[in-house]
Amino acid sequence: MHLRSFLSTALALTLLFVSTGSRATLYAQRRTVSLLLFNGKVFTSDARGTVAEAVAIDGERIVAVGTNAEIRAAYAGARMIDLKGRLVTPGFNDAHIHFLGGGRSLLLVNLMGARTLAEAKERVATRVREVKPGAWILGRGWDHTLWGGQWPTRADLDAVAPRNPVFLQRVDGHVSWANTAALKLAGVTRETKAPQGGEILRDAGGEPTGILKETAGGLVGRVVPGMTREEKLEAINRALAEARRYGITSVQDSISGYDTLALYRELLTQGKLTVRVSEWLDFSQPVAELKRQREEFGALKVDPLRIRITALKGYVDGTLGSRTSAMLAPFSDDPHNSGIPRMSPEQLTSMIVERAQAGFQITLHAIGDKANRMALDGYETVKRDFPKSYWKSSFPYQGLTVLQIASPRHRIEHAQVVAPSDFARFRDLGVIASMQPSHAISDKRWAEDRLGEYRVQGAYAWHTMKAFGVHTPFGTDWPVEPINPYLGLYAAVTRQSTEGDPAGGWWPQQRVTIVDAIRDYTSEGAYASFEEHNKGQIAPGMLADLCVHTRDLLTIKPEEILQTEAALTIFDGRVVYERDVQNK
């Protein structure tokens, strides 16, 4: 009896020793990586909606994704973060943002949310008291639809700024409001003719009222002092801080200007550029100049996964809120107005063809159904008249594998109002519909009045686009809308105001699932800039750009999305923003 007990004990000790030794050997063989995330809910954003628990990161790349047991057995982290069950997704990729302009808006008079004309004037008056007479007062964000729909006038601004020129952009950036001093400095008088694609509003006596629509804003804009280098850097740094705070790791930047690329490069060399920048050049510039910029930038040998030139951005029309969007029929609430196309259909198609032949991806701002059709007509001409290979040899991606993709992936930005017959054309032409969900919940107050019950069914139609198989990357359009991507996710899945109106959502058949909405802010954005092989998913080999969220977006009630924040922002394998996750 005692012998049997002794032998059993000896055997158990032997097995324990072997087991402990094997485990020690196993752990000794683990690969050490720079960062290990474990005990989380990892939404990979792949087409299957795969969810894992842990991620191993080494340097700028993800090396493994799997269960806690799998990752902890194979890897040791120089830094290890216990996610405590929190949701992890790829970092947000804002597919349409004015990055410099958004940062600059933080330095100007902020008129966002001013509920009355008096409130807007008081905000201007406050800035006037802070500056010297004669100094320019610049701002943006006013929305006359909150004030009853009547356009403000220069006299309104003269009352609070009689000795300072004032120039204020509407919330959409497509209408400008100037006072008498600004108009005088710009030489805008009753004799001044509006440029093509613009309109100068006039009073009964023919005098400019101070409202300048679309391209007419440039009459004053050209005399406004430009930003200094230091002001631009401050604006970009503020924008970068906002991006980090909201888990944004990539931006597709709408015409911040070719010269701004030098500032991005400077920040990159200093290790301060905490987003990946896909910059859009100005579609309206001559092709020779666009080629020169592309070649000059390419010669700099900048890492194309950090800063790159992608599309050419152009404008076909204005906005629905300003009634300057180009419509096939007049606005329902303004029967003598069909909007303002920036150019003729023939002009637009000619420019599209010329730039497509030069090997550029093209993306066009189009809000109205006529504007969307004009853009699609131009893209159809390119597809019909030129072989698929016309762009491959010169497409500006510096030797990346995207050169093998047999589609230029032309885009339409906003695609807000689309005629029923044109949804299939997006699919058949391979045109990307780059959309911003928060526009729907901002515009729903008046959109049906503008469009009527029939046309509104083709407005902000994310679900219909998806049903037709169209790629729909999401963005914010900051500073037109807040930079907060959680607001966009909420809008996409509810189609309700932030107060929860209307019950069930506005045209709820256009809602999308939270899974689709997250993919639109991540993997779809990567597709739109030809980077789906490097980012947009959490998978081995992908860039380590991740966002850890304070709430589980996949399971919470839709209204709780608005209370969600980024707990951690991981960019290029480094934690660049940390809210409250405890490290281990």
Task: Say if residue 400's pLDDT is above 50.
Answer: no
Which tens digit of pLDDT belongs to each residue from 209-254? 999 999 999 999 999 999 999 999 999 999 999 999 999 999 999 9
Residue with tokens 């790829």: 90
Distance between CA atoms of 356 and 343, rounded to whole angstroms? 18
Q: Are 541 and 494 in contact (CB under 8 A)?
A: no
Which tens digit of pLDDT belongs to each residue from 275-295? 999 999 999 999 999 999 999
The band of 17, judged by pLDDT with boundaries at 50, 70 and 90, is very low
* 545 and 524 together in one domain: yes
* 339 and 417 together in one domain: yes
Domain presence at residue 501: yes
Q: Are 435 and 427 in contact (CB under 8 A)?
A: no
Which tens digit of pLDDT belongs to each residue from 484-522? 999 999 999 999 999 999 999 999 999 999 999 999 999
Domain boundary among 177, 199, 221: 221
Mean pLDDT, rounded, for 13-40: 68
Cα 144 off chain centre by: 25
* 297 and 206 together in one domain: no
* Cβ atoms within 10 Å, residue 158: 15
The band of 64, judged by pLDDT with boundaries at 50, 70 and 90, is very high
* 180 and 287 together in one domain: no
Domain boundary among 169, 190, 221: 221
Complete DSSP assignment for 406-446: S----EEEE--B--GGGHHHHHHHT-EEEB-THHHHHHTTT
Q: For position 402, what pLDDT does the model report?
A: 41
Residue 543: phi and psi, rounded to 5, are -65, 145
Task: Say if residue 4's pLDDT is above 80.
Answer: no
Q: Which residue has the higher pLDDT, 29 or 57?
A: 57
Task: Say if residue 581's pLDDT is above 70.
Answer: no
The band of 388, judged by pLDDT with boundaries at 50, 70 and 90, is low
Domain presence at residue 518: yes
Query: Domain limits at 206?
Result: 137-221
Task: Say if residue 22's pLDDT is above 70.
Answer: no
Question: What CATH number corresponds to the domain at position 203?
Answer: 3.10.310.70
Eight-class DSSP state of 40 = S
Distance between CA atoms of 503 and 183, rounded to whole angstroms? 46
* 322 and 358 together in one domain: yes
Which tens digit of pLDDT belongs to each residue from 139-166? 999 999 999 899 999 999 999 999 999 9
Mean pLDDT, rounded, for 7-12: 48
Q: Which residue has the higher pLDDT, 436 or 405?
A: 436
Domain presence at residue 69: no
Q: For position 28, what pLDDT does the model report?
A: 58
Domain presence at residue 287: yes
* 405 and 546 together in one domain: yes
Question: What CATH number corresponds to the domain at position 297?
Answer: 3.20.20.140
Q: For position 580, what pLDDT does the model report?
A: 64
Name which of 5-14, 279-288, 307-316 the model is least confident about.
Answer: 5-14
* 233 and 217 together in one domain: no
Domain presence at residue 263: yes
- Structure tokens of 250? 């990539």
Which tens digit of pLDDT belongs to each residue from 81-126? 999 999 999 999 999 999 999 999 999 999 999 999 999 999 999 9
* 364 and 406 together in one domain: yes
* 250 and 349 together in one domain: yes
Task: Say if residue 27's pLDDT is above 60.
Answer: no
- Structure tokens of 44? 């990979």
Q: For position 386, what pLDDT does the model report?
A: 74
Domain boundary among 188, 221, 254: 221
Domain presence at residue 45: no
- For the stretch 576-582, contacts whose Cβ atoms lie closer than 8 Å and that sit 24 or more positions apart, written own/partner, are 576/244, 576/274, 577/244, 577/245, 577/247, 579/550, 580/550, 581/81, 581/83, 581/84, 581/86, 581/548, 582/82, 582/84
The band of 385, judged by pLDDT with boundaries at 50, 70 and 90, is confident
Domain presence at residue 562: yes
* 423 and 330 together in one domain: yes
* 320 and 197 together in one domain: no
Instruction: Please provide the average confidence, as pLDDT, over all residues in the chain.
Output: 92
Domain presence at residue 108: no
Q: Are 526 and 545 in contact (CB under 8 A)?
A: no
Number of compact structural domains in the chain: 2
The band of 407, judged by pLDDT with boundaries at 50, 70 and 90, is confident
Residue with tokens 């905000």: 123
* 408 and 552 together in one domain: yes
Q: For position 2, what pLDDT does the model report?
A: 52
